[in-house]
Amino acid sequence: MSAVSNGDLVRAAKKVAKFRRATDDVTFGHVGAAILTDKGHVYTGVSIDAWCGLGFCAEPSAIANMLTNGEHGIRKIVAVNGRNGKILPPCGRCREFLYQVTGDKEVGVILDKCREAKLGDLLPEQWQKKSFKRRH
């Protein structure tokens, strides 16, 4: 297995980050994301925006792609703006979602060409399910 560099992940995210229209009400690809899994595979996803206010970021789209393919361990993730190629940090919802899916605060998050952080540094206080009782 060849090593996947940060540059490889950024290029994979840029490749899918192309604005497109699915219908009059839905556009996608404003942002692209790429994930490097613990097994060394790369999965990508795009943001989806609907006029009704529904939609989601590129990171959950890439995570869904990864889960669909039977993996759940993430080494690194990156998101890229399709308009200008700028690397974007994950929003708060995506940070929490990354943690909930992996349970790993050591996931690497690429922040720009020369900077990377651990998910735990970006999400120091994650949501705690033990604070709530299940009703079912």
What is the per-residue pLDDT across 79-88, written as a single tens digit (0 to 9) for each?
999 999 999 9
Mean pLDDT over the full length of the chain = 92
Q: Which pLDDT score, from 0 to 100, does residue 28 have?
A: 93
Distance linking the first and last C-alpha atoms of the chain? 44
Q: Which pLDDT score, from 0 to 100, does residue 136 have?
A: 57
What is the per-residue pLDDT across 61-111, written as a single tens digit (0 to 9) for each?
999 999 999 999 999 999 999 999 999 999 999 999 999 999 999 999 999
Q: Which two tokens stand for residue 101?
A: 């899916």
How does residue 131 score in pLDDT terms, banded at 50, 70 and 90? Answer: low
How does residue 113 score in pLDDT terms, banded at 50, 70 and 90? Answer: confident
Q: Which two tokens stand for residue 70?
A: 């039977």
With a cut of 60, say whether residue 114 has pLDDT above it. Answer: yes
Helix (H) or strand (E) holding 29: strand 26-37
What is the per-residue pLDDT across 44-60, written as a single tens digit (0 to 9) for each?
999 999 999 889 999 99
Domains and CATH numbers, the chain: 6-119 (3.40.140.10)
Residue 29: left (phi > 0), alpha (psi -120 to 50), or beta? Answer: left
Burial class of residue 46, CB neighbours in 10 A (0-12, 13-18, 19+): buried
Q: Round to whole Å and give the CA distance between 132 and 93.
A: 19
Q: Which pLDDT score, from 0 to 100, does residue 125 have?
A: 82
